[in-house]
A and B are shown apart, each in its own frame.
Chain A
Amino acid sequence: MRLLSARLSARRRHPLAGLVVLLLGLGIAGGLYATVAPKPAEANAAQQELVADGRKLFLVGCASCHGKNAEGIMNASGSQQGPPLIGVGAAAVDFQVSTGRMPMAQTGAQAPRKDPLYTDEQTEALAAFVASLGPGPAIPAAEDYDYEDATEEEIVRGGELWRTNCTACHNFNASGGALPDGKYAPSLVGVDAKHMYEAMQIGPQQMPVFSDNVMTPEDKRNVIAYVKHLEQQDQPNPGGFALGSLGPVSEGLFGWIVGIGGLVIVTVWITGHGARVKK
């Protein structure tokens, strides 16, 4: 503690230094904005360029499954190589690509999350391209899913919504759960708030769509706040090691292995030692 304050005082500057830096920063930002900020026409051009970039990327990375114009491709067997993407919206592309689900590596029951293949700019371009094909949910703005200043009441409400709408698939602790036919609802531990918001908007795979008239944007944010606080609540976890937060199955397993297993070893030890050892 003392060390820290010593270091702080050594670096202490003039009381007005902060203000000067602030003014300087504002000045530079203002100047830059004036020169760089797109005029409406320019913005349109920039957008066009983005869409064009996106189209190029799409043709290389996605068209093999989704078709050149994202119209979708049917296999010979009648199943989908990739569904049509017209009208899925920028949010869907952002979700699928920045969680690494797309491009899908191999066909399977479900595209798993993996390390993303595209940079943020490329993802943006892809999203812009798909969004240009038909109207769909846009990528949410940061304030939509910013849960940091959610009030206690909002968090509690989020919890109710979470238990009513999500736990059936994702488990009470967001540890994930199995679904029919080899599909699963993934664990949400560590998932970005943005991706949570997008998932609710678009309903990937088996997940239902929670559109804005089913669940308002505020409520989506409340759910996110609850799940994030649940995660923080767990450090440290009240009651000790959570055994995977999977419910009574893992508890029973531990009861038998640690409890009965341990005690049986003790019985063997007790009867082998003590007052009267034979053999």
Chain B
Amino acid sequence: MSQQSKINAPKSVSGPVTWLDDRTGLANLANKKFLRKVFPDHWSFMLGEIALWSFVILLLTGVFLTFWFKPSMAEVEYHGSYELLRGLHMSDAYSSTLDISFDVRAGLLMRQVHHWAAILFIAAMMVHMLRILFTGAFRKPREINYVIGSLLLMLGILEGFAGYSLPDDLLSGTGLRIAEGLIRSVPVVGTYTSFFAFGGEFPGDDMIPRLYMLHILLIPGLLIALVTAHLVLLYYHKHTQWPGPGRTNRNVVGEPFLPIYTAKAGGFFFIIFGVTSLMGALLQINPVWKYGPYNPSEVTAGSQPDWYMGIAEGLLRIMPGWETEVFGYTLSWNVLLPGVVAPGVLFTIALLYPFIEQWITGDKREHHLLQRPRNAPSRTAFIVSLMTVYGLLWFAGGNDIIALKFDLDLNWITRFMRVLIFIGPPIAFIITKRICLGLQRADRERALHGFETGIIMRAPSGEYTERHAPLSSTETWKLVSHEQYDRPELEPAVDENGVANPASRRSRLRSKVWAFWYDDDVTNVSREELEEAHSHTDGHHRAEGTEVEGADEPSELEPKH
């Protein structure tokens, strides 16, 4: 390819290109193996890319903002062009944010694009993570990359929180005040940590400069390093793919990185840039001039964090006000549990999920083919129940807005949520699992008996049946190729020397968890079953009816139509 262009290009182009190529060997790179890497094509594989490109937009717009933003809490008098605050005393940080909004050309646009991109960045990471979880893409060898991804999500949230706190408006300060409360609620070290973090009593003068350092240096640096590691590992492992003919655990079917994939990805960048720019231009976000400068004695209705902190807000809002006094010190369960413990537990579950599942299955093999969510019913149901917790807490975090807009009673929303947060997730689990099992049965039925043709046949005896036609091998493959796990063997209670075996109890626990997780799964179609079914359909033009099913299926698995 590069040879071709060298011959055809006019001298003016080929000259510098050859010069560069001679020194760097770039043209050769195009033929190199790593640029010929192949990427499979599915919409859900592009969710991570939304996150990647919004991160790039954040870097670009963020650098623009740094030119004018003054990370200082020194008090100044505002003399910019926003009349309703003119002459007011405020921090340099807030005043410079007003300047960016009203006096810097394109400043407000950049602020809004930056903020919308931040919202999208974290949302995209989250849907990307859901895709990984639902399809089993976290399984060996990709566990490390999964952990890196989770850390990216957590750092992204921290980064967003730091950014939200920078303008030093009323919402910034209210958010930081809550963060301070969370830190202080930790027994023993809380107060010291808070004094350390804020450089003394809240709010102090150090808060904004420190957050600024975190926001533009430390966390972005970590993010860039982790994103790089994430992508390198992706390259190294190759992308996963959906099962299909010719797709195995040892190959990847898709488009070469260069040129097709890069062209698509590049185009996608511009689409995302376009969408965030449009949102920045048309939809107002964080109108700091209306909130006013931070003042610890003020507060406003509608004080909420950005959406990604919403669950922390929700947890705080539904928690009853429990406190205990120990040796004259107050233990604030009402802040500690929802503010520190619960988010920690949720995040740890998310972070460790691949290892938890591996422990249950005992599966140590590599997987490069994705699972359809229905083929892992308990996992899918578990994720949906986590999503339910998340959604409910989100809802609880916006309880006042919901009460206002839907004419509901604030206190009843809170009471309702306190109950729902415990019974909602199990209900979601059961419903999702049933749906998955139903889909599995339908798949099994389709694989064995083909699809319904809509042709009604009448037998000489007068019986009516619908004719089924066999599926193509491609389709059948999609339905039957997934693996299932056997129940792990129990360790003997005593080892060969007759000594009690400590592994035994663990293995029994594991076996029990396994049973809960996999016992209900609909047994996959075996090769024999498939051949048997096909010999029926192929041989005679006999309508598929109840006979075949009844003959070789355990009756409870097969609902009749």
Binding site for B on A (CB under 8 A): 109, 152-153, 155-156, 159-160, 163-164, 167-173, 175-182, 184-185, 226, 229-230, 233, 237-243, 245-256, 258-260, 262-264, 266-268, 270-272, 274-276
Contact A177 B41 (CB under 8 A): no
Report the Cα distance A115→B265, complex, angstroms. 57
Name the A residues within 8 Å of B85 (CB-CB).
156, 159
Chain B at the A interface: SS class: helix
Name the B residues within 8 Å of A266 (CB-CB).
268, 271, 275
Interface members, chain B 396-438 (any A CB < 8 Å): 397-401, 403-405, 408-412
Contact B46 A271 (CB under 8 A): yes
Contacts beyond the supplied A156-B85, A163-B300, A259-B120: 7 A-B pairs with Cβ under 8 Å: A160-B88, A172-B290, A173-B287, A180-B411, A245-B290, A260-B124, A274-B264
Contact A247 B171 (CB under 8 A): yes
A-B pairs with the 5 shortest C-beta distances?
A: A177-B301, A252-B307, A247-B302, A255-B119, A239-B284
Interface members, chain B 260-286 (any A CB < 8 Å): 260, 263-264, 267-268, 271-272, 275-276, 279, 281-286
Q: Mark B53-88, 1 if CB is under 8 A from A, else 0.
A: 000000000000000000000000000000111111
Q: Mark B283-297, 1 if CB is under 8 A from A, else 0.
A: 111110111100101
Contact A172 B291 (CB under 8 A): yes
Contact A167 B298 (CB under 8 A): yes
Contact B287 A267 (CB under 8 A): no
Asked if B304 is at the interface of the complex by the 8 Å CB criterion, the answer is yes
Contact B120 A251 (CB under 8 A): no
Report the Cα distance A230→B292, complex, angstroms. 12
Asked if B305 is at the interface of the complex by the 8 Å CB criterion, the answer is yes
Report the Cα distance A176→B45, complex, angstroms. 42
Name the A residues within 8 Å of B285 (CB-CB).
239, 243, 251
Give B88's nearest chain A residue, CB to CB: A156
Name the B residues within 8 Å of A185 (CB-CB).
301
Contact B307 A239 (CB under 8 A): no
Name the B residues within 8 Å of A159 (CB-CB).
84-85, 88, 292
Interface-central residue, B119, B299, B304, B404, by most chain A CB under 10 Å = B404
Contact A163 B410 (CB under 8 A): no
Contact B400 A177 (CB under 8 A): yes
**Closest beta carbon of chain B to A230's beta carbon, Å:** 7
Known A175-B302, A238-B108; contact A267-B50, beta-carbon cutoff 8 A: yes
Contact A163 B170 (CB under 8 A): yes
Contact B267 A182 (CB under 8 A): no
Known A229-B84, A251-B285, A260-B123; contact A172-B116, beta-carbon cutoff 8 A: no
Known A178-B403, A259-B116; contact A153-B301, beta-carbon cutoff 8 A: no
Report the Cα distance A252→B42, complex, angstroms. 27
Contact B43 A267 (CB under 8 A): yes
Asked if B491 is at the interface of the complex by the 8 Å CB criterion, the answer is no
Contact B83 A152 (CB under 8 A): yes
Report the Cα distance A177→B300, complex, angstroms. 9
Contact A184 B302 (CB under 8 A): no
Known A159-B84, A256-B307, A267-B47; contact A168-B301, beta-carbon cutoff 8 A: yes
Residue of A167, A173, A270 near B268 (CB, 8 A) is A270
**A and B contact pairs by CB, cutoff 8 A, 13 listed:** A163-B170, A176-B404, A180-B410, A226-B84, A233-B83, A239-B108, A239-B287, A241-B284, A254-B279, A255-B120, A275-B264, A276-B41, A276-B260
